[in-house]
Amino acid sequence: MILALLASVLLTAGCTRGRDDSPLHLLLITLDTARADRFSYAGASPVETPAVDSLAAEGTAFLQAVSPVPVTLPAHASILTGLLPPAHGVRNNGTYRLTESAVTLAERLTAGGYRTGAFVGASVLDSRYGLDQGFEVYDDDMPGKPGAEFEAQRGAEAVVGRALAWLDGVGEEPSFAWVHLFDPHMPYDPPEPERSRYPGAPYDGEIAYADRMIGRLLDGYRDRGLYGRTLVVFTADHGEALGEHGELTHGVFLFEPTVRVPMVMRAPGQSGGQRVVEQVRLIDLVPTVLDLLELGPAEGVDGRSLVPLLRGDDLEPVPAYLETRLPLENHGWFELRGLRTPETKLITGPTTELYDLASDPGETTDLAARRAGTVGQMLRDLEVRAATAQAGSEGAGERVEMDEATRRQLTALGYVSSGASTEPSADGLGPYEERRIRLTFMLRNRGFRTLALERCGEILPAAAGDRCLDRLAERLPEAVAEAAPRRGGNAVLGGSPEELLAVAEVAAGRGDLETLRGALTELTGCLDATARGSTPSPPALRRAARLSQIGTGCFERLQYDDALHAFLLGERLVPDEAVFPYNLGLAWERLGDVGEALRAFSRTLELAPGFARAEEHRRYMEAVRRRLGPAGGP
């Protein structure tokens, strides 16, 4: 159904050409991590997005667009190939490369006589992952600057500037520019004036900032006299959970906040203001764009052209395939797949869930047990769709070994958990429940305390019988900390390392430094060091991951001494892991101990040669030492 039927769309062959009948330019804007409900064209939104709204006013807004995978690299591989992840084979960030046999939009447009340039905002889309195929310019240059911990990205202003500079060199030739803006991704740190305009909502501020930069980009096209001959496509690779369903960011679950994306298309000569409410998919973009540019039909893609919808015609509804392997590959948890229709969503992994999206858009009530027939039917449909996509693929994505520098960068972006374990838990908790509990505490650590406690109340009774409750308490630092008897203001500890870690986690979160320091001190006495060159045990890895979180939390709260304490303990457990010496170096740097910082960064580089950020910090510390003289730091 088209809401704005009065929009008499002129999107028939011949009408998408410029006045002088030259081919249209194509501008594809992908805004990373953008929730569909953060754009005012789509309805009530907490963010004002005048630039994207203006595109929607001049073009067509798709109000129900779905990403096949809420993970940056695989989602962009789908946007650029029109293939589902099982077909293009890129299933996660950092560990896959799009094969040469895949045909990208840039390759198709190059063949059609286009000049092509890509301008990406984060190293997660580095050319080494294969999305550069067909682009004559692939600008993935990520500058780092000392002091910034999340440097594997660059801001929208820089990306837009590069794109416009490239456009100047292209001149009148038909051009395809892909502009990827990463700003709404964690960490949320909008510049002014958006920071002040969205107090307490930095994610919204990032969306507003990105929209301002999109406005600048569109103005750049106008200033160059190109806007009237440019097909503009705006969308996102995935959304952001912002704490919904126990998820903080994206990639772990397949719930609506992360799989729904904004999508707007604006073609010259089109009557604007059209609203399409049918479900469409990111894989439909390639065939649609080729259709509009008269370079179609696209052969060998999983998506289909949406031009009939743009014309106001009907299109047979098709379900959207969903998947995520990030929880399995990064955390050792599980893989999820799903199938979404406008009315119903199936999610299947360790458990199978069914949600009625029409009556329960928040996906709060799992109907799988009550609607076994629908579940069976959708599971079969899902299998067929996955198998068809896989069978049609020329060659699966290649696994690429993650080098240490990449791992560090992805860790900085929050993608990789250090010390992930794949061993089954000893207390009978399945990985599904376990990750929910872990995520719940991640939420709490990020300040979503009330929400986290609520989630625990939901998860615990469902996850475990009475038999498990004792063991569960160990996983629930809140409960353990409450239960720890106190003596003279100090926790009476002497418990297992897990209990001590729990006490430390809770105390760090509450800012109870006395208890935190007591727990860290007791841990010092009961954690067995791992010898350099030998493989840490799974418990050592898990404990190190928790110490890393405790230390990082202290660091963020500027408690550098406590951060050092936690990082030093973690280093004892996993002495060959570069993350601890790196974090120690940063803490020593903040404390002004140049000598210790230098030693830590040198050790980091021994373990992770080519880790660019460590190298920069080491050089920076050396420069400081030269200025201070041989005596070193204060």
Residues in touch with Zn ion (CB under 5 A):
32, 72, 237
What is the rounded distance in angstroms from the CA atom of residue 227 to the CA atom of residue 217? Answer: 10
Closest contact distance (angstroms) between CB of 184 and Zn ion is 9
- Residue by residue, DSSP assigns 269-303 as T----EEEEEEEEGGGHHHHHHHHTT--PPPS-SS
What is the rounded distance in angstroms from the CA atom of residue 108 to the CA atom of residue 84? Answer: 18
Q: Which is nearer to Zn ion, 124 or 346 (CB)?
A: 124
> Residue holding tokens 């992952």?
129
Q: Which is nearer to Zn ion, 236 or 310 (CB)?
A: 236
What is the rounded distance in angstroms from the CA atom of residue 210 to the CA atom of residue 218? Answer: 12
Q: Which is nearer to Zn ion, 52 or 600 (CB)?
A: 52
Contact (Cβ atoms closer than 8 angstroms) between residue 600 and residue 581:
yes
What is the rounded distance in angstroms from the CA atom of residue 597 to the CA atom of residue 618? Answer: 8
Closest contact distance (angstroms) between CB of 32 and Zn ion is 4
Q: Which is nearer to Zn ion, 251 or 575 (CB)?
A: 251
Helical H segments across 323-448, by residue range: 326-331, 372-391, 404-412, 431-445
Contacts of 249 (CB under 8 A, 6+ apart): 33, 186, 240, 241, 414
Biggest CA–CA distance in the chain, Å, is: 85
DSSP bridge pairs for 175 = 115
- CA distance readout (Å), 350 to 252, 254, 327, 328, 573: 13, 13, 12, 11, 31
How many CA atoms does the CB half-sphere of 512 hold within 13 Å?
16
What is the rounded distance in angstroms from the CA atom of residue 578 to the CA atom of residue 570? Answer: 11
Contacts of 370 (CB under 8 A, 6+ apart): none
Q: Which is nearer to Zn ion, 186 or 484 (CB)?
A: 186
Closest contact distance (angstroms) between CB of 238 and Zn ion is 5
Q: Which is nearer to Zn ion, 184 or 202 (CB)?
A: 184
Contact (Cβ atoms closer than 8 angstroms) between residue 542 and residue 497:
no
Q: Which is nearer to Zn ion, 63 or 122 (CB)?
A: 122
Closest contact distance (angstroms) between CB of 186 and Zn ion is 10
Closest contact distance (angstroms) between CB of 33 and Zn ion is 5
What is the rounded distance in angstroms from the CA atom of residue 575 to the CA atom of residue 624? Answer: 27
**How many other C-beta atoms lie within 10 A of the C-beta of residue 169?**
11
Closest contact distance (angstroms) between CB of 178 and Zn ion is 14
Closest contact distance (angstroms) between CB of 233 and Zn ion is 17
Q: Which residue is nearest to Zn ion (CB)?
A: 72
Q: Which is nearer to Zn ion, 262 or 551 (CB)?
A: 262
> Residue holding tokens 């840490």?
536
Q: Which is nearer to Zn ion, 211 or 562 (CB)?
A: 211
Closest contact distance (angstroms) between CB of 72 and Zn ion is 3
Contact (Cβ atoms closer than 8 angstroms) between residue 29 and residue 16:
no
What is the rounded distance in angstroms from the CA atom of residue 136 to the CA atom of residue 119? Answer: 11
Q: Which is nearer to Zn ion, 180 or 229 (CB)?
A: 180
Q: Which is nearer to Zn ion, 38 or 543 (CB)?
A: 38
Closest contact distance (angstroms) between CB of 268 and Zn ion is 29
Determine the distance from the C-alpha atom of residue 52 to the mean position of all C-alpha atoms in its chain, rounded to a whole number. 21
Contact (Cβ atoms closer than 8 angstroms) between residue 78 and residue 85:
yes
Q: Which is nearer to Zn ion, 32 or 151 (CB)?
A: 32
DSSP bridge pairs for 62 = 276
Closest contact distance (angstroms) between CB of 499 and Zn ion is 37
- CA distance readout (Å), 531 to 419, 534, 571, 573, 605: 16, 6, 11, 8, 19
Contacts of 45 (CB under 8 A, 6+ apart): 37, 38, 39
Closest contact distance (angstroms) between CB of 263 and Zn ion is 15
Q: Which is nearer to Zn ion, 77 or 600 (CB)?
A: 77
Closest contact distance (angstroms) between CB of 71 and Zn ion is 7
Determine the distance from the C-alpha atom of residue 202 to the mean position of all C-alpha atoms in its chain, rounded to a whole number. 16
Closest contact distance (angstroms) between CB of 512 and Zn ion is 36
